[in-house]
Chain A
Amino acid sequence: MAEPWEEEEGPVKKFMYVNRKAPYGTIYALESLEVVLIAAAFDQDVSLVFMDDGVYQLKKGQDTKGIGMKNFSPTYRALEGYDIEKLYVEKESMESRGLTADDMIIPVEMLSKDELTSLMEEQDVVMSF
């Protein structure tokens, strides 16, 4: 049975999920990824942004065996399968942390601060974690 929001022929909204926190130290990165996976089922326009310490979520080679926590970074590789293809990292956040595209676990589009700012202004809903 269709859910009420699926029956409505409303325009698709632009949702941006902004990740600004590093993984493991707090649960925000993991649980915000869970939101994005659910969001994929709603046929909305989804953008996923990693900026500030959020860029650390995509660092290659995460190995959590020594801290007893689940390594959830492989899930980012699965996003494409959920039709979440608009993934952006902020160039300035990467540079100030000494990271390059080669450090990322998945291919991402690098946006400058100004490009990201314009993209943010185009959104209908910005969810930040």
Chain B
Amino acid sequence: MKLAVLVNEGPYQHQAADSALQFVKAAVAKGHEIFRVFFYHDGVNNGTRFAIPPQDDRNITVEWSKLAEEHKLDLVVCIAAAQRRGILDENEAKRQGKSGDNIAPGFRISGLGQLIEAGIQAERLVVFGD
């Protein structure tokens, strides 16, 4: 089945990001198609490669990136929510006159329309948040 996932919380602060990650892993293991994972609200913080969790802790962003590479997942960070919270890709950094970008590999920044499209295209939308 074609599934979409919405992640509304950042990593570490709330379990929602971990739950979403475990859910997506289980879904691909069962052969389901993940149409898109959309990150909104503080969920956009899943997409920064600048986070450095302690070595004995999980690195949620790295896990998303790995999963995206292995299964060709479409990880989309909402542009409006990302701008509020300082998550930038190379183009956005240039456009906003910022000195660097921090988006993690496998993530892309795009508009809220991508969330609505996921709702239209996927057969189920599962929301993780607080």
Contact = CB atoms under 8 A, between A and B. Distances in A.
**A and B found bound together:** yes
Interface of A: 3, 5, 10, 13, 15, 27-28, 31, 34-35, 38-39, 41-42, 44, 125-129
Contact of A13 (B115, B119, B127, B129): B119
A105 B117 CA distance: 30
A125 B41 contact: no
Given A42-B120, A128-B127, A31 B40 contact: yes
Contacts of A129: 8, 41, 129
B80 A44 contact: no
B112 A34 contact: yes
A129 B127 CA distance: 9
A8 to B, nearest CB: 8
Contacts, number: 50
B111 A38 contact: yes
Contacts of A44: 116, 119-120
B117 A127 contact: no
Nearest to A44: B120
A27 B120 CA distance: 25
Contacts of A39: 112, 116
Interface in B1-55: 6, 8, 40-41
Interface in B87-130: 111-113, 115-117, 119-121, 125, 127, 129
Interface residues of B, number: 18
B41 A5 contact: no
A125 to B, nearest CB: 4
28 contacts: A3-B117, A5-B117, A5-B121, A13-B119, A15-B116, A15-B119, A28-B41, A31-B40, A31-B41, A34-B112, A35-B40, A35-B115, A38-B112, A38-B113, A38-B115, A38-B116, A39-B112, A41-B113, A42-B113, A44-B116, A44-B119, A125-B119, A126-B125, A127-B6, A127-B119, A127-B127, A128-B127, A129-B8
A35 B112 contact: yes
B76 interface: no
Given A10-B120, A13-B119, 19 more contacts: A5-B117, A5-B121, A13-B120, A15-B116, A27-B41, A31-B80, A35-B115, A38-B112, A38-B116, A39-B112, A41-B113, A42-B116, A44-B120, A125-B119, A126-B125, A127-B119, A128-B127, A128-B129, A129-B129
